[in-house]
Amino acid sequence: AQKITQTQPGMFVQEKEAVTLDCTYDTSDPSYGLFWYKQPSSGEMIFLIYQGSYDQQNATEGRYSLNFQKARKSANLVISASQLGDSAMYFCAMREASRDSGSARQLTFGSGTQLTVLP
């Protein structure tokens, strides 16, 4: 079963508008971390935001916020006031921190969402 699911292969947003990128995950571990990364066409992976499974509040980092709904197992990324430079591939990833997870301690990535910001 897919551990991380990103159902939107591509998204378009008008400059200065907000956009939500969806991410759902699957784990039975009580302790895990959720990450969002941005990958421009140049290839580098840029860390954006982190949410821990025990965090009470949704994470925010500048124009990025994470809409964490634990019961639904979703961790959607919200980008406010989109800029042309936000055009990139966005990956949701999870790391299960439990020592009982065996080989599950590495980052598992979703398939990504290609975001295009229109002028």
Partner 1 sequence: KAGVTQTPRYLIKTRGQQVTLSCSPISGHRSVSWYQQTPGQGLQFLFEYFSETQRNKGNFPGRFSGRQFSNSRSEMNVSTLELGDSALYLCASSRGQIGSNQPQHFGDGTRLSIL
Out of 44, 57, 71, 119, the only residue in the binding site for partner 1 (CB under 8 A) is 44
Q: Which stretch binds partner 1 (CB under 8 A): 11-19, 20-28, 73-81, 105-113?
A: 105-113
Out of 16, 70, 72, 105, the only residue in the binding site for partner 1 (CB under 8 A) is 105
> What phi and psi values does residue 27 have, to the nearest 5 degrees?
-160, 150
Q: From residue 78, give the alpha-carbon distance in Å to each of 1, 3, 51, 68.
A: 26, 21, 13, 11
Closer to partner 1 by CB, 1 or 44: give it: 44
Out of 91, 113, 115, 117, the only residue in the binding site for partner 1 (CB under 8 A) is 91
Both tokens of 34, joined, read: 């959720």
3-state secondary structure of 114: strand
Does 90 sit near partner 1 (CB under 8 A)? no
Task: Put residue 4 in one of left, alpha, beta given phi > 0 → left and psi -120 to 50 → alpha.
Answer: beta
Residues that bind partner 1 (CB under 8 A): 31-33, 35, 37, 42-47, 50, 52, 91, 95, 97, 99, 103, 105-112
